[in-house]
C-alpha cells in the first residue's frame, strides 16, 4: 500500500506533509532514558534480559544513541540522539512485507504493524534504514507482579512477530474519541506520546505537523535548522531533529 | 562433432592401424562403446539392487543426523522462538537465508546441464542428465526447508500464498519475498515434471525387469508406458517443450532470489547487477555439486565406471572453468560499480568485507572460487581425474557458501545506523544447516536405489546415433540426427 506519490512531484519535505509528527531537540536531551522506560511501560514491551540485550536483541521502540568524536584523550561526546520509528511518508519497510503486515494508515499517516498478520520474515527490519524495528525472538517471561502493569489498550505480542513505535496510536485514538464525544477537534497539546510526556527536559514535542499553529510546526519554523535523518533516501520521515543550535 | 574429428586426427597420427584407432575411441567415449541393449539394462538394474553394508551404515548415520539436525532442532526452534538461533539486530537474516540461496544455487546446475545441453544437443550429457536433475529437485526441497525455518511464525506460512479467503487478504505482490515463493514453487513443480518425463521409459524398463513390491512401484510410476511409436513421439514433444520452457524459469528463479537483496535499500545489497551475478554464482556452485555427485556415484555404485567416464569429467570441468571466469567477471563488476558509486556506507562495508573480523572468508572465497579452479581445470589430465575435480567442486561449493555468507549476515552487520552495528554468531543454524545437507544426501542415496540413475534409453539412443566410419584409412566419428 505505497502512498500515491511520484518522485518528480515531491521536493523533499515540502510537497509532502504528514499528519502526526515529532520534533526532538538533541541539545536538550540529557540521555536520562526516561523516554525509553516510559515507552516500555506504555506499550507493553518485553524485558529481554541481559544476555539477549547484549546480543542486540533489546526490545526498545525508542533508544538513546550515544556517539563520541575524536580519539582518546581528546574525546568529545556529541549530543545524545533519541532514535525511534520516523513514521516515514514513503517507508521502505512497507513494500517488502509479503503478507501486508506492515502497512500505511491512510487516516493517521502512520506506519502500522499488524501483529497478528506478521509471519516473521524480518524483511521490514532489514530494509529499515533507521534500524528501529524490534523482533520478538522468544516469548519473554513477565514475573508475577509485572503483568499487573500491562496497558490494556495495547496488544501483548508473542514470539516470531515484528513490532515498532506506533506514535502511541492508542493515545491518539483516545484523544480523538474524547474530542468527538464532546463535539470538537483535538486541541494541540491535549495529549502527547509516552516518551514526550516522560521527558524531563521537554526535548520531545509531539503534535500535528499539518497544522501550522501547532507547537511542533512552530518549533520547526522557529529553529529553521531541523534535519531529518537519512532524508537522502527519500523516505520522507516525520521526525525532525535539532542539534547545535 | 568437431571435437571428435580433431581427436580422430591426432589419434590417427599416433596410431598406426585403424584397429588401434577404434579401440582408442571405444575406450574413451561412451557413445562409441555400445553394449547390447539387454546387458546395459541389466547393468543399471544391478546398480540399483546392489547395496553394501557401508551403504546402510552411512544411511543410518545420515538418518540420525537428519532426525537431530533437522527435525529435533527445528521443533525446538518452533517451540522456543528464533532466540535460539544467532540472528539479531542488525543481522536479521542469517544462515537460514544463506542456505536457501545456496540450495537454490545447487539446484540450478541440474536443470542447466540437463535442459541447456539437451537443447544444444551436447552428446556428453546423456549418461548424467538424471543425476543432475535429481540434484535440482532434492536441492529445492532443502531450500524450502531453509526458508521456512527462517520464518518467525512458520505455522502461518500459507499466508504467503494467494489463496481465496473471506477477508480478501492477498500476499503483497510488491514484495520480492512473495515472488520468491512463487518462483521457487514454479521451479520445484516444473523441475520435478522435467525429471519425471525422461524417467518414464526407464521406469517401464525397470518394471519389466523387477518383481515384488518394486514391480508395483514401477508399474504405478511408469504410467503404463509400452514404448509404442505414438508414446515416444508424445514424450519427445513434451520433453522438448519442457527443455525449452524450463530455461527461462531457471534464470528467473535466481534473479528473483537476488531481488530479495538488490531491491532493498541496504548498502552492499542495492546493486543492479545482482540478478546475473546470482545466476552465474548459482551455476558455479551447482556445477561443482554435479561433479561431486558424479565422482561419488562413479566411485561407489556398481557398473557406473562404464557409464560415467573421464570424458564426462573433462567436459564438465571445461564448463566449470568457463563459469568460474564468468563469475570472476561479475564479481569484479559488482565490486567495481559499488565502490565507484562513492557512497560512504558502501565504502565502509567493502572495507569491512576485506579487513573486518571475517576478512579471511572474503579471501577464501576468492581463492576457492577463482584461483583454485583456474589453476587446476586448465589441465585436461587433472580435470579428467575424479578425485581432483571432486576436491575442486567441494572447494567451489565452500567458496560460494562463503560468498552468500558475506552478502547476508556480514553485510547486514554494517548499516547506516552505526549505533546498531553488531556481529552475527550462528546458533541453532548450524545443526539445521547440517541437517539439510544430510537430508539432501539421504534423499539422493534413497533415490539412487529406487530409480535408475542412468537414463538408459538416452544412452542407447546416443550410441545408435554415433558411428565410426572409415574414409580410406581415416576413422571418423559420425553422428546422425535421430530426433
pLDDT tens-digit readout, A155-191: 999 999 999 999 999 999 999 999 999 999 899 989 9
Give the number of residues written for chain A: 245
Q: What is the pLDDT of residue B395?
A: 95
Domain map (residue ranges) of chain A: 17-242
Report the gap between the CA of B269 and the closest CA in chain A (Å): 10
Cα–Cα–Cα angle for A239, A242, A245, rounded to 5 degrees: 165
Contacts of residue B150 in chain A, CB cutoff 8 Å?
121
Report the complex ipTM. Answer: 0.88
Identify the helix (H) or strand (E) that includes residue B450: helix B429-450
Q: For an interface test with B, give the residue of A2, A79, A120 to mutate (most B CBs within 10 A).
A: A120
Contacts of residue A2 in chain B, CB cutoff 8 Å?
174
Q: Verify whether the Cβ–Cβ distance A122 to B420 is below 8 Å.
A: no
**What pTM, to 2 d.p., does this model score?**
0.90
Q: What is the pLDDT of residue A184?
A: 92
Report the gap between the CA of A100 and the closest CA in chain B (Å): 6
Contacts of residue A98 in chain B, CB cutoff 8 Å?
160, 171-172, 175, 177-178, 181
Task: Report pLDDT digits (tens) over B44-59.
Answer: 888 888 888 999 999 9
Q: Verify whether the Cβ–Cβ distance B89 to A139 is below 8 Å.
A: no
The CATH number of domain B34-452 is 1.20.1630.10: yes
Which comes out higher in pLDDT, residue B167 or B317? B317
CB under 8 A, 24+ apart: contacts of B465-470: B465/B31, B465/B123, B466/B29, B466/B31, B466/B32, B466/B123, B468/B22, B468/B25, B468/B32, B470/B18
Task: Report pLDDT digits (tens) over B97-123.
Answer: 999 999 999 998 888 888 888 888 888
Task: Report pLDDT digits (tens) over B209-265.
Answer: 888 888 889 989 989 888 889 999 999 899 889 889 999 998 999 999 999 999 998
Q: Which residue does chain B place closest to A230, by CA atoms?
A: B416
Cα–Cα–Cα angle for B371, B377, B380, rounded to 5 degrees: 155
A67 touches chain B (CB under 8 A): yes
Q: What is the mean pLDDT of the segment spanning B368-376?
A: 94
Q: Which residue does chain B place closest to A233, by CA atoms?
A: B265
Domain map (residue ranges) of chain B: 34-452
A160: nearest CB among B82, B91, B417? B82
- Here the cell at position B100 is 536457501
Q: What is the pLDDT of residue A9?
A: 46
Is pLDDT of A218 > 90? no
Q: What is the pLDDT of residue B3?
A: 45
A234 touches chain B (CB under 8 A): no
A118 touches chain B (CB under 8 A): yes
Task: Report pLDDT digits (tens) over A26-68.
Answer: 989 999 999 999 999 999 999 998 999 999 899 999 999 988 8
Contacts of residue A96 in chain B, CB cutoff 8 Å?
174-177, 263-264
Q: How many CB pairs under 8 A join A and B?
A: 139
**Residue B72 half-sphere exposure, CB side, CA atoms within 13 Å?**
10
Give B216-282 as a DSSP string. Answer: HHHHHHTTT----HHHHHHHHHHHHHHHHHHHHHHHHHHHHHHHHHHTS--TTT--TTHHHHHHHHH
CB under 8 A, 24+ apart: contacts of A61-64: A61/A85, A61/A132, A61/A134, A61/A163, A61/A164, A61/A165, A61/A166, A62/A35, A62/A36, A62/A165, A62/A195, A63/A36, A63/A132, A63/B419, A64/A29, A64/A31, A64/A33, A64/A35, A64/A36
- Mean pLDDT, chain A, whole residue set: 88
Are B423 and B82 spatial neighbours (Cβ–Cβ below 8 Å)? no
Topology given in CATH for the domain delimited by A17-242:
Alpha-Beta Plaits (3.30.70)
Report the gap between the CA of B169 and the closest CA in chain A (Å): 8
Amino acid at each position: 500500500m505505497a502512498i500515491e506519490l511520484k518522485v518528480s512531484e515531491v521536493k523533499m519535505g515540502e510537497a509532502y506533509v504528514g499528519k502526526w509528527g515529532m520534533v526532538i531537540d538533541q541539545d536538550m536531551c540529557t540521555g536520562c532514558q526516561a523516554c525509553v522506560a516510559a515507552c516500555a511501560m506504555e506499550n507493553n514491551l518485553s524485558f529481554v534480559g541481559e544476555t539477549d540485550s547484549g546480543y542486540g536483541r533489546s526490545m526498545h521502540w525508542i533508544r538513546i544513541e550515544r556517539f563520541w568524536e575524536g580519539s582518546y584523550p581528546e574525546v568529545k561526546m556529541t549530543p545524545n540522539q533519541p532514535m525511534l520509528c520516523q513514521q516515514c511518508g514513503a517507508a521502505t519497510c512497507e513494500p517488502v512485507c509479503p503478507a501486508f503486515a506492515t502497512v500505511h494508515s491512510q487516516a493517521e499517516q502512520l506506519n502500522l504493524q499488524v501483529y497478528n498478520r506478521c509471519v516473521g520474515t524480518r524483511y521490514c527490519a532489514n530494509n529499515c534504514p533507521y534500524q528501529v524495528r524490534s523482533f520478538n525472538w522468544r516469548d519473554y517471561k513477565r514475573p508475577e507482579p509485572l503483568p499487573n502493569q500491562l496497558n490494556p489498550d495495547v496488544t501483548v505480542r508473542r514470539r516470531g512477530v515484528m513490532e515498532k513505535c506506533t506514535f502511541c496510536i492508542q493515545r491518539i485514538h483516545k484523544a480523538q474519541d474524547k474530542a468527538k464525544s464532546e463535539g470538537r477537534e483535538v486541541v494541540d497539546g491535549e495529549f502527547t506520546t509516552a516518551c514526550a510526556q516522560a521527558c524531563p527536559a521537554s526535548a520531545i514535542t509531539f503534535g500535528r505537523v499539518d497544522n501550522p499553529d501547532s507547537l511542533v510546526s512552530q518549533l520547526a519554523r522557529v529553529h529553521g535548522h531541523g534535519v531529518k535523518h537519512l532524508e537522502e533516501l527519500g523516505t520522507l520521515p516525520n521526525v525532525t531533529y535539532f542539534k547545535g543550535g | 562433432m568437431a571435437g571428435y574429428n580433431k581427436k580422430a586426427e591426432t589419434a590417427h597420427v599416433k596410431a598406426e592401424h585403424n584397429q588401434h584407432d577404434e579401440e582408442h575411441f571405444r575406450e574413451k567415449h561412451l557413445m562409441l562403446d555400445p553394449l547390447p541393449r539387454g546387458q546395459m539394462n541389466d547393468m543399471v538394474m544391478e546398480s540399483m539392487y546392489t547395496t553394501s553394508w557401508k551403504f546402510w551404515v552411512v544411511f543410518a548415520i545420515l538418518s540420525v543426523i537428519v532426525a537431530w539436525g533437522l527435525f529435533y532442532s527445528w521443533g525446538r526452534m518452533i517451540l522456543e522462538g528464533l532466540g535460539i538461533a544467532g540472528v539479531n539486530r542488525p543481522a536479521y537474516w542469517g544462515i537460514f537465508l544463506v542456505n536457501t540461496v545456496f540450495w537454490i544455487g545447487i539446484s540450478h546446475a541440474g536443470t542447466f546441464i540437463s535442459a541447456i545441453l539437451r537443447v544444444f544437443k551436447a552428446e556428453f550429457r546423456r549418461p548424467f542428465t538424471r543425476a543432475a536433475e535429481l540434484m535440482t529437485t532434492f536441492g529445492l526441497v532443502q531450500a524450502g526447508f531453509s526458508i521456512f525455518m527462517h520464518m518467525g511464525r512458520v505455522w502461518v506460512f500459507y499466508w504467503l500464498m494467494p489463496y481465496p479467503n473471506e477477508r480478501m487478504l492477498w500476499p503483497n505482490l510488491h514484495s520480492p519475498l512473495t515472488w520468491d515463493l512463487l518462483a521457487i514453487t514454479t521451479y520445484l513443480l516444473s523441475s520435478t515434471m522435467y525429471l519425471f518425463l525422461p524417467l518414464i521409459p526407464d521406469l517401464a524398463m525397470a518394471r519389466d525387469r523387477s518383481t515384488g513390491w518394486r514391480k508395483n512401484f514401477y508399474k504405478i510410476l511408469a504410467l503404463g508406458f509400452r514404448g509404442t511409436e505414438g508414446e515416444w513421439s508424445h514424450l519427445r514433444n513434451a520433453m522438448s517443450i519442457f527443455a525449452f520452457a524450463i530455461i527461462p524459469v531457471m534464470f528467473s528463479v535466481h534473479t528473483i532470489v537476488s531481488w530479495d537483496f538488490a531491491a532493498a535499500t541496504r548498502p552492499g545489497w542495492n546493486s543492479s547487477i545482482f540478478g546475473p551475478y546470482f545466476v552465474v554464482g548459482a551455476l558455479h556452485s551447482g556445477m561443482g555439486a554435479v561433479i561431486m555427485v558424479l565422482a561419488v556415484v562413479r566411485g561407489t555404485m556398481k557398473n557406473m565406471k562404464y557409464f560415467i567416464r573421464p570424458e564426462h569429467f573433462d567436459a564438465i570441468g571445461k564448463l566449470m572453468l568457463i563459469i568460474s571466469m564468468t563469475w570472476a567477471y561479475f564479481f569484479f563488476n559488482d565490486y567495481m560499480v559499488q565502490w565507484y558509486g562513492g557512497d560512504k556506507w558502501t565504502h565502509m562495508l567493502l572495507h569491512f568485507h576485506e579487513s573486518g573480523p571475517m576478512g579471511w572468508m572474503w579471501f577464501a572465497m576468492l581463492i576457492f572460487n577463482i584461483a583454485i579452479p583456474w589453476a587446476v581445470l586448465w589441465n585436461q589430465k587433472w580435470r579428467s581425474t575424479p578425485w581432483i575435480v571432486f576436491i575442486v567442486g567441494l572447494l567451489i561449493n565452500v567458496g560460494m557458501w562463503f560468498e552468500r555468507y558475506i552478502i547476508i549476515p556480514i553485510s547486514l552487520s554494517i548499516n547506516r545506523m552505526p549505533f546498531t552495528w553488531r556481529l552475527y554468531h550462528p546458533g541453532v543454524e548450524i545443526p539445521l544447516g547440517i541437517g539439510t545437507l544430510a537430508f539432501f544426501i539421504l534423499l539422493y542415496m534413497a533415490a539412487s536405489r529406487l530409480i535408475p540413475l542412468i537414463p538408459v534409453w538416452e544412452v542407447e539412443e546416443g550410441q545408435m546415433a554415433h558411428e565410426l566410419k572409415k574414409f580410406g584409412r581415416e576413422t571418423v566419428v559420425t553422428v546422425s540426427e535421430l530426433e
